[in-house]
């Protein structure tokens, strides 16, 4: 249960801010038109910047300058725009060639990362920290909910690092309540759990945790 402690984190209430596309995000899109052949040509197709997904769709990486190279369209700048804003801009570009075109653009790299838990899909809009905790923790009673670490990539390539107390009701009002794509979360275990390490692999995992955090940040 969330509580109001005498000494607590103070958060300024903020309205929900839709995610803006970052460098190294991947987007994919489809074009629809009464001219089906033209729509097929302008829909996402493979090139050197593309990444094929398991569903055989093709995604395009956003470069550090906020651009992607799209077939038949050329340079397109979705960086620092919401998915909806980028979709509107792409639709306008495609309609220069196909007047009745409709465009559907999505973020195909919509994942966050849990240290020790791997890559996790952002499976719904406005996914919260508590839903991320539930997806990761299962029935582990030893998670330290008072010192959850959130590492959030910024558009300039830096990282914002926050330590969050999930017992506090005020967290719901903060800008960190909702999970963002590419967030890195570390759910630590309580000191009690250290004395419950019962095997060499458990101990090695505990010791290697800081190294895992560093490598994940460097890979991003």
Strand partners, 164: 148
Together in a domain, 65 and 132: no
| Torsion 63-65-176-190 (CA) sign | positive
Together in a domain, 85 and 137: no
Together in a domain, 87 and 168: no
d(CA 139, CA 110): 26
Domain boundary among 67, 90, 107: 107
Q: Over its length of 220 residues, how does the chain's per-residue pLDDT go in tens digits? A: 444 444 456 676 777 888 999 888 999 999 999 998 888 888 865 443 444 444 456 889 999 999 999 988 899 999 999 999 999 999 999 999 999 999 999 999 889 998 877 888 888 888 998 888 887 665 566 778 888 999 998 877 789 999 999 888 888 888 899 999 999 999 888 765 444 544 445 444 544 545 455 555 555 5
Please check whether residue 180 is in contact with residue 126, taking contact to mean a CB–CB distance below 8 angstroms. no
Q: Flag whether 128 is in a domain.
A: yes
Together in a domain, 99 and 116: no
3-state SS assignment for residue 126:
coil
Number of domains the chain is built from: 2
Domain boundary among 107, 138, 158: 107
Together in a domain, 187 and 212: yes
CATH label of the domain that carries residue 64: 3.30.1950.10
Q: Flag whether 82 is in a domain.
A: yes
**What is the domain extent for residue 39?**
26-107
């Amino acid at each position: 249960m969330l509580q109001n402690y005498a000494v607590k984190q103070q958060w300024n209430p903020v309205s929900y801010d839709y995610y803006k596309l970052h460098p190294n995000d991947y987007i994919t899109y489809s074009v629809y038109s009464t001219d089906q052949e033209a729509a097929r040509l302008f829909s996402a197709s493979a090139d050197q910047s593309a990444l094929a997904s398991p569903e055989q769709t093709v995604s395009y990486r956003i470069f550090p300058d906020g651009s992607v190279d799209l077939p038949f369209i050329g340079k397109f700048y979705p960086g620092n725009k919401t998915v909806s804003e980028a979709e509107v801009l792409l639709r306008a570009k495609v309609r220069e060639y196909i007047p009745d075109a409709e465009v559907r653009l999505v973020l195909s790299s919509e994942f966050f990362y849990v240290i020790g838990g791997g890559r996790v899909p952002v499976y719904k809009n406005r996914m919260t920290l508590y839903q991320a905790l539930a997806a990761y923790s299962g029935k582990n009673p030893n998670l330290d909910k008072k010192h959850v670490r959130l590492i959030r990539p910024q558009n300039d390539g830096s990282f914002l690092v926050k330590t969050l107390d999930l017992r506090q009701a005020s967290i719901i009002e903060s800008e960190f309540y909702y999970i963002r794509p590419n967030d890195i979360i570390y759910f630590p275990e309580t000191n009690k759990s250290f004395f419950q390490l019962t095997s060499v692999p458990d101990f090695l995992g505990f010791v290697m945790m800081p190294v895992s955090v560093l490598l994940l940040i460097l890979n991003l």
